[in-house]
Amino acid sequence: MIIETKTPQETFDVGKKIGENAKPGQIYTLTGDLGVGKTVFTQGVAAGLGITEPICSPTFTIIQEYESGRLPLYHFDVYRIGDIEEMEEIGYDDYFFGQGICLIEWANLIEEILPENLIKVTIEKDLDKGFDYRKITVTGLEEI
């Protein structure tokens, strides 16, 4: 599934719709270069889940948990992970195999521990189509 957006709001709204329809236990990976809109998308997912607190990037903590929505949201940013052991230390399997939604940035760095049933979200720019153009590719979901 490919969705094209032309403003941050549209990307937010795609995330919001996914959040509204998200089901317990789903794991989303979020891939894209710096500044492409991963955080904007995540804020949309959180809004769709009814989460009221602000979403901050968990780069220094690996995981940030949000419990105020319809389902818990576990937002991972594994960019700074040195060793897969660190995932064991935070008890990642409680999150991966729990009743919340996992959203993982830089998931390629922890490929060996990712389950098979992933929903993959990739966000890309295409400067030929304008500075604010984004192509969002979603695999593993029938519809959003």
Given the rule CB under 6 A, which residues bind ligand ADP?
A: 5-8, 10-11, 32, 34-40, 132, 134
Q: Which is nearer to ligand ADP, 25 or 106 (CB)?
A: 106
Q: Determine the interface stretch with Mg ion among 23-31, 52-60, 84-92, 109-117 (rule: CB under 5 A).
A: 52-60
Distance, CA of 100 to CA of 125 (rounded, Å): 30
Distance, CA of 32 to CA of 137 (rounded, Å): 11
User: Which among Mg ion, ligand ADP, none contacts residue 22 (Cβ within 5 to 8 A by kind)?
Assistant: none
Mapped onto helix, strand or coil, the DSSP state of residue 110 is helix
| Least distance in angstroms from the C-beta of 16 to ligand ADP | 13
Q: Determine the interface stretch with Mg ion among 10-18, 49-57, 85-93, 136-144 (rule: CB under 5 A).
A: 49-57
Closest-CA residue to 140 (of 22, 12, 6): 22
| Least distance in angstroms from the C-beta of 42 to ligand ADP | 7
Q: Which is nearer to ligand ADP, 57 or 81 (CB)?
A: 57
User: Which parts of the chain are beta strand (E)?
Assistant: 2-5, 27-31, 63-66, 73-77, 101-105, 118-125, 134-139
39 near Mg ion, rule: CB under 5 A: yes
Q: Determine the interface stretch with Mg ion among 18-26, 34-42, 65-73, 83-91 (rule: CB under 5 A).
A: 34-42
Closest-CA residue to 137 (of 37, 55, 49): 37
Distance, CA of 18 to CA of 123 (rounded, Å): 15
Residues in contact with Mg ion by CB under 5 A are 38-39, 57
